[in-house]
Chain A
Amino acid sequence: MKALAASRRHRFAPVILMALALLFTGAIYAALAPNAAQADTASATDIAEGERLFITNCSTCHGMSAQGTADGPALIGVGAAAVHFQVVTGRMPMAANAPQAEAKPPQLTGEQAQQIAAYIASLGAGPSIPSDQQVDPTLGDAANGMQVFRTNCAMCHNAVGAGGALSEGKYAPALDGATATVIYEAMLTGPQSMPVFNDATLTPDEKRDVIAYLMEQRQPNPGGLDLGSFGSVSEGIWVFVVGIGLLIGAAVWIGARSS
């Protein structure tokens, strides 16, 4: 008890709380996960419900039977993982035509996403939603994940996944809020501008290593505030705002006449 009280006072209490929160999120996710693992062998009712949801929410752009229209690509054969990624991150259904679909609060529940994914998967084979074990960061090797990440991902998503710009208003999003499953699915399916990293170019183990690296990066920076992880430019702004700013303030105080 004493130890617990001491650790609550500890500077790292927020970190541990964060870790607990992550675990909690994971636990909630685990409740949905059986569906995920079984997406390919989803029940007929799931598929039927998925089709209904698809027609209501997606068919305007993707066509009544997912064959694609001028406004949206065909979805036959894209697989459950792609659909799940787009729907749970809120990218689909799209709000408006933009350079790229933005992540926003999802309009459909996780279960509904699973059902649409099951429906699309039933139309043609494609990458399926990864299992819990496939995305478990504790099973991955963060050091190898870093090597893979910085070779294949950092040029767009920044060294710690803070995001970066692409051409013509497109961008690679920040990864700090993404769940392990979503990260895995993005690598597997290459949404929008992102290239595809199939299981031959990045093995499933390497993908899990990447997830382990990204989760490791969510630990607080040992050097202090991370200033957005944008590197030298934000450091340059802060050096003037905080450093030069405070010192000029001090200089004004020194130069001012005492009352």
Chain B
Amino acid sequence: MSIEHREHVGEVTTTPERFENPGISPHRPRLSDEDPRAAKRAERQTILIFTLSILATVGGIVGYFAFPIQAPSLGNVRMSTLTLGLGLGIGMLGIGVAAVHWAKSLMSDVERVEERHVQRSDDATRAAAVEILSTGAAESNIARRPLLKGALGTALALAPLSFLVPLIGNLGADWNVSKFRHTAWAPVNGKLRRLATDPSDRPIKPSDVTIGSVVHVMPQGLPDEPGYLEEKAKAVVLLIRLDPRDLNEPEDRKDWSYEGIVAYSKICTHVGCPVALYERQTHHLLCPCHQSTFDVANQAKVVFGPAKRALPQLPIALDEEGYLVAQSDFLEPVGPSFWERER
């Protein structure tokens, strides 16, 4: 029986078109309304719960003094947290449960009715309001002086500028956004920068990096330089050694690696998380934040996930002492894309 799409029900002689609201249903008394013993029981329960709360609070304070925090044990931290927390929690919960129990069992539960008034003001009030406003506007003579109105508006609109301009102007420090393009790998005074382990800052020889191993590196000496974290945020690199037979290098990058050792920026080209999960067997690098997957054997091109661009490669070589160095800075900006990146 489809009753959808039906239009008005046909008029039937005397019955009304809609049901009438029957009014509030009769009040059903509670146990505690009729039986004084039930009421007394509810009162005793309420008192009991309040008492529980009092005891819990006292217990929590005892816990504060009973568990002073001292090295080397974590135990007291745990106990202190637990006792204070249980004291506070049960103390509060007791008050709440008792109050609600009181309200539910002993306070009147007869529903009452109150009239509502529509939000709209009545016509007389509205008219009066309009009258007041138009009188005021007339007294200010604003309608007949458009220039004054314009001047007021302009002044009001401009005034916040003396607050906003210095605020916004200073928020961005020097606004030199070209810093995105450079990292600490650029040679300093013509000296190529060595690759060193993070965090112990040891320089690395190719023999240290066996096939299948990964070293997290940064420019040697970086921790002592100014703006360490800002530079590190751009300069971190993953050094990976593959079997040279697995490595698929284009002609122009043939001399960027050293005997199967390649160095790629660790900063994801998606939104900048450190890409660090290296799967030795598949040569895939996975970003734990959004699962962009890069193929290290294949110029770290994206094979899965939300990143578009390959990870920038750092060209490496050996210095005269046999340590790995960066031939130059990265040849493209590292990290997430930005508007003027290709410019």
A-side residues, CB < 8 A to B, are: 11-12, 15, 147-148, 151-152, 155-156, 164, 166-168, 170, 172, 190, 192-198, 200-201, 206, 219-224, 250, 253-254, 257-259
> Which chain B residues border A193 with CB–CB below 8 Å?
279-282
- Among all A-B residue pairs, the 4 with the closest Cβ atoms: A200-B208, A155-B276, A222-B77, A195-B214
B31 at the binding interface (Cβ < 8 Å): yes
CB-based contact A190/B286 at 8 Å: no
CB-based contact B74/A155 at 8 Å: no
Residue-wise, chain B 49-87 has the 8 Å CB interface mask toward A (1 for contact) of 000000000000000000000000011011101100000
In Å, the complex CA distance between A201 and B209 comes to 7
CB-based contact B82/A11 at 8 Å: yes
Q: A11-B79, A167-B282 are in contact. Are A201 and B100 (CB under 8 A)?
A: no
Residue-wise, chain B 128-168 has the 8 Å CB interface mask toward A (1 for contact) of 00000000000000000000000000000000000000000
> Which chain B residues border A148 with CB–CB below 8 Å?
199
> Which chain A residues border B216 with CB–CB below 8 Å?
151-152
In Å, the complex CA distance between A47 and B293 comes to 43
Residues from 287 to 306 in B contacting A, C-beta threshold 8 Å: 288, 291, 293, 304
6 extra A-B contacts, CB within 8 A, seeds A12-B75, A201-B197, A201-B213? A12-B79, A151-B199, A155-B276, A164-B288, A220-B78, A222-B77
Q: List 16 A-B contacts (CB under 8 A).
A: A155-B276, A156-B276, A164-B277, A167-B282, A167-B286, A170-B279, A190-B280, A192-B281, A195-B280, A196-B212, A196-B213, A200-B205, A201-B209, A220-B74, A258-B31, A259-B30
In Å, the complex CA distance between A81 and B281 comes to 19
CB-based contact B78/A11 at 8 Å: yes
> Which chain A residues border B198 with CB–CB below 8 Å?
151
Residue-wise, chain B 206-234 has the 8 Å CB interface mask toward A (1 for contact) of 01111111111000000000000000000
B105 at the binding interface (Cβ < 8 Å): yes
> Which chain B residues border A172 with CB–CB below 8 Å?
277
Cβ of A41 to closest chain B Cβ, rounded Å: 24
CB-based contact B277/A259 at 8 Å: no
In Å, the complex CA distance between A167 and B294 comes to 11
In Å, the complex CA distance between A220 and B74 comes to 9
> Which chain A residues border B288 with CB–CB below 8 Å?
155-156, 164
CB-based contact B199/A147 at 8 Å: yes
In Å, the complex CA distance between A219 and B75 comes to 9
B194 at the binding interface (Cβ < 8 Å): no
Q: A11-B82, A166-B279, A167-B279 are in contact. Are A197 and B274 (CB under 8 A)?
A: no
Most chain A CB neighbours (cut-off 10 Å) among B79, B207, B288:
B288
With CB as the reference atom, state the residue of chain A lying closest to B77: A222
B109 at the binding interface (Cβ < 8 Å): yes
Cβ of A170 to closest chain B Cβ, rounded Å: 7
CB-based contact A195/B75 at 8 Å: no
Most chain B CB neighbours (cut-off 10 Å) among A190, A195, A254:
A195
Cβ of A127 to closest chain B Cβ, rounded Å: 10
> Which chain A residues border B44 with CB–CB below 8 Å?
none
CB-based contact A224/B109 at 8 Å: no
CB-based contact B100/A198 at 8 Å: no
